[in-house]
Amino acid sequence: MTASSQRLVVRPIEDRPFLEEMLKLRWSGASILVRGQFLAPSQVNAFGAYEGDDIAGVATWRYEGRILYLITVNNVTDRRGVGQALLEAVIAKGKADGAPLLRVLVSNDNLNALGFYQRRGFRIVAVHIGAVDAMRTYKPSIPEIGMNRIPIHDEIELEMGL
Amino acid sequence: MPNVVVEPATPGDVVATWRDLWNGEVIFTPRGVFSPRDVVGLAARDRNNRMVGLATYAVRDRVAAIVTINAMLDGNGVATVLLERIIAAARAAGATALVATLTNDNLRAFAFFQKRGFRLTALRPGAMDAVRARKPKIPLAAPNGIPIRDYIDVERDL
């Protein structure tokens, strides 16, 4: 475990200009592909994991109907447990809102995320074959090769009941 | 390349490996139940004639299916050598596609196949629940903590 004297606190990021600027920098081309659509930073909400005033990680989410979608989870530092803390905050948010389901999509190369979510109560509910390939037609900057040197083609959809 | 010799496996190699590493005497796949006599086995042996890898496959209707592939030692390229031999043998047998099925917990296999030309083709949600009913030794979760539930099919052209 990374030693840290600061407690990790997760709270909504209310400063929209700050959030959108940060996401524009993190999301190549200032948008992110989810479920065959491009989302701009203005279309998501976010939780930040803070150590004091420093941000250690960000999770973004949005509703589509009553279903809560986790869009991204990013660790900004190497502190452990940030993804877990952010996921817990999103789950708590969904439960408080009465959302029946939490869903997340990962690309076929992202085995770390596939493991992370499956170990935390999500199960794979669908595979969208060629979904990333289709979107690359519109956004050629989407890389061909992803993590683990695996070609990126598909989206894998995971879900957990809340 | 690992310093191994790949040769036809004996029926005993297949039986022992399936018993020790696959929780039983037969392998359940989306393409049916395979017993050792239904498959071609390839064994990789080191210079001391110790088996360090075993792969089994079957060819039907121009589709070759990998039934099992195991490297007894990690990270030394044995599985890659076995896969290359299956590809060559399957092509020689007239197959035009090579398929494999893994379980949802097996992220290493998912990476292995995807790095070697295989594409994700299908999810079979809950398939392992039915398999577990016939093979009760299959644990509920893998050592990496992921519940074992689904089949994931992958495929490549030959």
Q: What is the DSSP string of A53-94?
A: TEEEEEEEEEEETTEEEEEEEEESSS-TTHHHHHHHHHHHHH
Q: Are B107 and B144 in contact (CB under 8 A)?
A: yes
Grade residue A6 by pLDDT with cuts at 50, 70 and 90: confident
And the tokens for A126? 């669908």
- Which residues are paired to B102 by β-bridges? B152
Residue A7 near residue A49 (C-beta atoms within 8 A): no
Which of B114, B125, B147 faces A150 most closely, judged by CB atoms? B114
Rounded to the nearest angstrom, the minimum Cα separation between A150 and chain B is: 5
Q: What count of CB pairs under 8 Å joins A to B?
A: 53
* B73 compared with B139, residue with greater pLDDT: B139
Neighbours of B46 (CB within 10 A): 17
Whether A49 shows a pLDDT value over 90: the answer reads yes
Of the candidates B116, B109, B120, B113, the one whose C-alpha atom is nearest the C-alpha of residue B144 is: B109
Is pTM beyond 0.90? Reply is yes
Residues B35-49 have a mean pLDDT of 95
pLDDT reported for residue A34: 80
B110 touching chain A per CB within 8 A: yes
The pLDDT mean for chain B works out to: 94
pLDDT at A29 over 70: no
Q: Which DSSP letter does residue A12 get?
A: E
Cβ distance of A114 and B111 shorter than 8 Å: no
Q: Residues of A with CB below 8 A from B149's CB?
A: 123-124
How far is B101 from A17, CA to CA, in rounded Å?
46
Q: Please list, residue by residue across B58-77, b when 16 or more beta carbons sit within 10 angstroms of its beta carbon and e when fewer do.
A: bbeeebbbbbbbbbbeeebb
Kindly list the residues of chain A whose beta carbon comes within 8 Å of any beta carbon in chain B: 108-109, 111, 114-115, 118-119, 123-127, 129, 148-151, 153-154, 156
- Mutation target to probe the A interface, by most A beta carbons within 10 A, among B102, B103, B110, B157 is B110
- Hey, are the CB atoms on B146 and A118 less than 8 Å from each other? yes
Reply yes or no on whether the pLDDT at B9 is more than 90. yes
Given this model, what pLDDT does residue A4 score?
55
Quote the CA–CA distance of B120 and B111 in Å, as a whole number: 11
Say if residue A28's pLDDT is above 80: no
Would the CB atoms of B119 and A149 count as touching at under 8 Å? no
> Do residue A148 and residue B119 have CB atoms under 8 angstroms apart?
no
Q: Do B125 and A111 touch (CB under 8 A)?
A: no
Mean pLDDT for the stretch of residues A53-70 = 95
pLDDT at A80: 87
Q: Whole-angstrom Cα distance, residue B55 to residue B88?
A: 13
Q: Which of B122, B144, B149 sits opposite A123 (nearest CB)?
A: B149
- Over range B76-91, report the average pLDDT: 95
Is pLDDT above 60 for A64?
Answer: yes
pLDDT at B138: 92
Smallest CA-to-CA distance from A135 within A23, A25, A38 is with A38
**What is the predicted pLDDT for the residue at A5?**
63
Q: Is the pLDDT of residue A146 over 90?
A: yes
Q: Look up tokens 């935390």; give the residue.
A: A120
- Chain B hits for A125, CB-CB cut-off 8 Å, are 125
Rounded average pLDDT over A117-145: 93
Residue A100, pLDDT score? 98
CA–CA dist B74, B72 (Å, integer):
7
User: Please, which residues have CB within 8 angstroms of residue A14's CB and are 6 or more apart in sequence?
Assistant: none
Q: What percent of chain B shows pLDDT beyond 90? A: 90
- Provide mean pLDDT across the span A70-80: 88
Measured from the Cβ of residue B45, the count of other Cβ atoms closer than 10 Å reads 18
